Structure 1
């Protein structure tokens, strides 16, 4: 008998190194590196950029060495040559996963905004593009007023919108996510975007929009695939991994998004601890 060899691990570049005054990239990237590496499906290299205001002239990651880039970064603009190389990597079939605050990055980089579909903050105003809404079972682009915001962190239901998409296949129709920021009113080109899951903050929640806001999205960019998760907030003063990043729902959708962005498929089984609607499942 011959023993089948294990499939090669998906090569992930975790790119991090800067965040704005509301986030702590050191905590979030440490948590991402630990959880993704521990899963067993992935091989992770972490690349830390220069600090804010430092020289980026030599910043030129070897994108093609990886299957997917996991972006935990919102900071200084990259050199134009690096931007072009990144655009070519993704449009040529490379994978990208934009994690939470990464959708605040690069408001003036048109290709990046197209990659992530919608974004917020960083100077994005009402001219950044429409808001994405999920109304009566379909995606709607809304040019109405309003810019990116969020209620204070709270537990909320995440509801599946695309049950047949590889990332969402087999997951519950709804599941309770651990206390987190719920991004709302993100704006952008919203091209080739599929809403995978939404969440709502009703009128009883301060700054709630009463809209089904996109939490998980899939975007086609050329031949490349982008998974955008708005979940996983880490505050500037957090020193330990928050519950939002230990939520089994957050983690499993992240892993599924990484596999899909890298390969176009999802082979993972739904874990036994995936949350239902009664309470969140927070892993140790």
Structure 2
């Protein structure tokens, strides 16, 4: 009996050590992500909180947040160590206050980070930001810009991309939000095994998205049924130097909303996770869930699943 007790104790110690090591290794392998926020005409605080939660609940990411200070002196000194992260998620937008900008040294640091191979996620309204920043326009490919700026991309009836030069067509905008059907234009690790068409909830389809549109791959598009009655890109990637950039109009979260259907969409949440993994590694291993939406039906997670920080 004494020998059995000793063997049992030894086995317990070995297994405890094994599982502790396994846990440490799993945590060590999590992808390091930084969300940058601090100002926007959208609810950037909740957008950051929900995005961080979506990524971390997958068990694949460790997400930090860097909030740009409101004090001008502190803001001038703000300069995150981008190189410590595999992916930067850009969640700032100065469309209503053009004087709010990143310090120039932070702009240069992000440019260098992406050129050297970093991953950059342009989260929804972040593509409305920083028209003064030439390199930013090149990184995002397309954004919210006036008709005089950049090429606008449209998808014709043959699923071909039509490029309208500066001065042709309108400036970027959107009509009412609706349950858009996202259609795949180019297969990519991000949308591998997605249905050809899938329905997202209460989203914005930007018409006349504009920019340099260099080194760009349009992943998906949607028909604008509430405005122009034309078809526009929804998701695209950009190659900038050695880096990867993902940009999309998906992910709208307005002030006064709490974990809205656009964020509860299983298709959107799956895409956030797969995009971030691809930006970090160039590959996607996160599986497409069984309840992924179809062309004819949405798939929404429970409203009670996420609790907004600071609310009961």
TM-score (normalised: structure 1)? 0.91
- In structure 2, which of residues 180, 184, 191 is the aligned counterpart of residue 156 of structure 1? 180
For 1:224 and 1:211, how far apart are their aligned partners in 2?
32
Which residue is equivalent to 1:185? 208
Give yes or no for contact 1:229–1:254 (8 Å, CA) kept in 2: no
1:264-283, aligned counterparts within 5 Å? 264-283=282-301
Moved more, 264-273 or 53-62: 53-62
Give yes or no for contact 2:148–2:171 (8 Å, CA) kept in 1: no
For 1:223 and 1:117, how far apart are their aligned partners in 2?
15
Do residues 129 (structure 1) and 153 (structure 2) align?
no
Instruction: Could you tell me which runs of 5 or more consecutive residues in structure 1 were left unpaired when the two chains were aligned.
Output: none
- In structure 1, which of residues 15, 20, 37 is the aligned counterpart of residue 36 of structure 2? 15
Give yes or no for contact 2:147–2:172 (8 Å, CA) kept in 1: no
Distance 1:53 1:243, change over 3 A: farther
Which residue is equivalent to 1:236? 255
- In structure 1, which of residues 45, 60, 66 is the aligned counterpart of residue 79 of structure 2? 60
Give yes or no for contact 1:248–1:282 (8 Å, CA) kept in 2: yes
Which residue is equivalent to 1:40? 59
Report the count of equivalent residues.
273
Which residue is equivalent to 2:161? 139
Give yes or no for contact 1:67–1:262 (8 Å, CA) kept in 2: yes
Query: Residue 206 of structure 2: SS of its match in structure 1?
Result: coil
Which residue is equivalent to 2:279? 261
Structure with the larger helix share: 2
For 2:61 and 2:161, how far apart are their aligned partners in 1?
32
Which residue is equivalent to 2:115? 91
Q: Which structure has the larger Rg over C-alpha atoms?
A: 2
Distance 1:140 1:95, change over 3 A: same
Query: Residue 11 of structure 1: SS of its match in structure 2?
Result: strand
Task: After TM superposition, give the deviation of residue 168 of structure 1 in Å.
Answer: 1.3
For 2:147 and 2:71, how far apart are their aligned partners in 1?
27
More relative contact order in 1 or in 2 (CA 8 Å, sep 6+)? 1
Instruction: Could you tell me which runs of 5 or more consecutive residues in structure 2 were left unpaired when the two chains were aligned.
Output: 1-17, 95-99, 303-312
For 1:146 and 1:137, how far apart are their aligned partners in 2?
21
1:9-62: CA deviation from partner (whole Å, max 9, x where unpaired) = 111101111102xx1111211111111111111110011111286642111000
Which residue is equivalent to 2:6? none
Do residues 196 (structure 1) and 219 (structure 2) align?
yes
Distance 1:57 1:34, change over 3 A: same
Distance 1:52 1:58, change over 3 A: closer
1:168-183, aligned counterparts within 5 Å? 168-183=191-206
Query: Residue 128 of structure 1: SS of its match in structure 2?
Result: coil
Task: After TM superposition, give the deviation of residue 199 of structure 1 in Å.
Answer: 0.6
Structure with the larger strand share: 1
Query: Residue 154 of structure 2: SS of its match in structure 1?
Result: strand
For 1:28 and 1:270, how far apart are their aligned partners in 2?
23
Query: Residue 73 of structure 1: SS of its match in structure 2?
Result: coil
Which residue is equivalent to 1:249? 267
TM-score (normalised: structure 2)? 0.83
Give yes or no for contact 1:227–1:257 (8 Å, CA) kept in 2: yes
For 1:67 and 1:40, how far apart are their aligned partners in 2?
16
Moved more, 216-225 or 42-51: 42-51
